[in-house]
Structure 1
Amino acid sequence: MPKPKVTVSLDADLAIDVMMLSGAGNPQDAVELIVRDYLARSRRTEARTGEADDAGRLTHERRSDAESG
């Protein structure tokens, strides 16, 4: 089953900048590469830093360790 597609309109200068940055030959491929890279970086960052909900837990643990020491 094919994946659904979405059409997005961009300013021509922005599309050209994205094409040059990504090295793609057309705007569609360029935007797809940039979005995929952005998503991959986001997932890698979350894997390294944890979820937003983890922040309170980690701060609480540090306080507990400091208080007990």
Structure 2
Amino acid sequence: MAKVTVSLDADLAIEVMLLAGTKSPQDAVELVVRDFLATRRRTEARTGDAADESRLAAPQAPVQEG
């Protein structure tokens, strides 16, 4: 897998490490990103995504003319 280098503010990196319970900022950020992606997939599985918008829209009453 390809590696990417990202610069973060030291305070942000420390906060993420504390929340994730890791000793490495790299591991902490990786855990947070993986959790974010997993949560998004679970949410889409339960609620649908943009492609499902027409299915989820409330039906409109027919327009009465005359």
Query: TM-score range, shorter-chain basis?
Result: 0.7 to 0.9
Quote the residue 1:47 is aligned against: 45
Matched AA of 2:16: V
How many residues align? The count is 62
Report the TM-score, using the length of structure 1 for normalisation.
0.81
Structure 1: gaps of 5 or more residues: none
- State the percentage of identical aligned residues: 66
Match of 1:18 among 13, 16, 19: 16
Match of 2:25 among 24, 27, 47: 27
Match of 2:34 among 1, 17, 36: 36
Report the TM-score, using the length of structure 2 for normalisation.
0.84
Using the TM superposition, give the Cα deviation of residue 48 of structure 1 relative to its aligned residue in structure 2, in angstroms: 0.3
Runs of at least 4 residues of structure 1 off by over 2 A?
Answer: none
Using the TM superposition, give the Cα deviation of residue 58 of structure 1 relative to its aligned residue in structure 2, in angstroms: 2.3
Q: How well do the aligned residues superpose, as a CA RMSD in angstroms?
A: 1.6
Structure 2: gaps of 5 or more residues: none
